[in-house]
Amino acid sequence: MTPEKLREYFMKGVVHIVQLTPFKENEDVDYEALKENTSFLVEKRSYGPMVLTPVGSTGEKYALTDEEWKKVVKTVVDTANGKIPVVPGASHSGTRVAIERAKYAQDVGADGVMVVLPYYHVPEEEGLYLHYKKICDAIKIGVVPYNNPDVSKIYMKPHVLKRLVENTNNIVAVKENTPYIPTLYEQIKTVGDKVPILQGRGDWWFAATAFLGVRGFISGYANFMPEFSIDLLKAGLNGDYGKLKILMEKLYPLEEFIGKLSKKYGPSTSILPYPYVGSYMMFGVMKAAMDILGLKGGHMRLPLMDINRDDRRELEKILFEKLELKKIK
């Protein structure tokens, strides 16, 4: 898919599914499980517009070796087989390494790459601009900047994003993770007419900010309940706020459960202030949900942790009784 077509696809509204990486009990990557999970999502493509992103933050890309990263990307691209766009995470704190990853994704047939802000050392604004400009110039597929201060310590302000969009031709969307609604609105007003801004903080945040003009959202929940996320997308894009309220009330028990576990397994080691993310127990919850429903969530890879058996039993009740989900297999 050309960057122009991918941008148009995003602009119409899309659920961008960040795929979890299934690990075996010994923490090896379970590639067969990854194929099964990908095939499940590909089969759901007729229900609504979706994009797959393996090896992003939710996919624990930081915990993968270079060879594992490559194999996960190729496995998802090959399994999707052109039936659904694949935009893998190709991030790195170093520009040259990020370019190498982006080129690999292009070579194996990905439709684009998602690139989180460079992390570890903090660049100046010019260095941040050049990081993305050089990645865009090095490849012919689409690029989705992932503006996520939770994991990077930095933030791309609207004037930098505007400059980047004006001086490249393959920015196809922006995954925007600010927890501040006025800042999100400023990004949309600055570049939203040229490239779609996606709500990067998930289903709940999309419901809360759909009226601002976001063109979709990134979802981890869609790994195991894509219909729910697509229903949410359609309600938000159509301005059906009554339907949004019903869906969010249905989702609340799961959100509440994740919040409870974040405290139970704490304390958090984060020094970031609220409302930045202080716990990632949500990943373990999502993997457990996949296993419960018949998919292949698998295990977390350290330093993140699985949830215990008692919590899995409580999660099972939420999935079947509150969200009214059914076994997939």
Asked if 118 contacts 93 with a C-beta cutoff of 8 angstroms, the reply is yes
Helix axes 125-138, 158-166, angle to 10 degrees: 30
CA 122/CA 118 separation, integer angstroms:
8
Backbone angles phi, psi at 219, to 5 degrees: -135, 135
- Distance, in Å, from the CA atom of 141 to the CA atom of 62, rounded to the nearest integer, reads 23
Is residue 276 part of the annotated active site? The answer reads no
Beta strands in the chain (DSSP E): 14-18, 50-53, 112-116, 142-147, 174-176, 197-199, 216-219
DSSP string, 166-189: HT-S-B--EEE--S-HHHHHHHHH
C-alpha distances (whole Å) from 185 to each of 35, 177, 258, 270 are: 38, 12, 27, 27
Mention every residue, 6+ apart, whose C-beta is less than 8 A from residue 312: 288, 292
Residues contacting 206, CB < 8 A, separation 6+: 199, 214, 216, 217, 232, 233, 236
The verdict on whether 71 is a catalytic residue reads: no
| Catalytic one of 61, 74, 175, 296 | 175
Contact predicate 222/243, CB 8 Å: no
Contact assessment for residue 108 and residue 139, using Cβ atoms and an 8 Å cutoff: no
Taking the CA atoms of the chain, what radius of gyration do you get in angstroms? 18
Q: Contact at 8 Å (CB) between 198 and 217?
A: yes
- Of the residues 9, 104, 132, 146, only one is catalytic, namely 146
Positions marked active-site: 146, 175
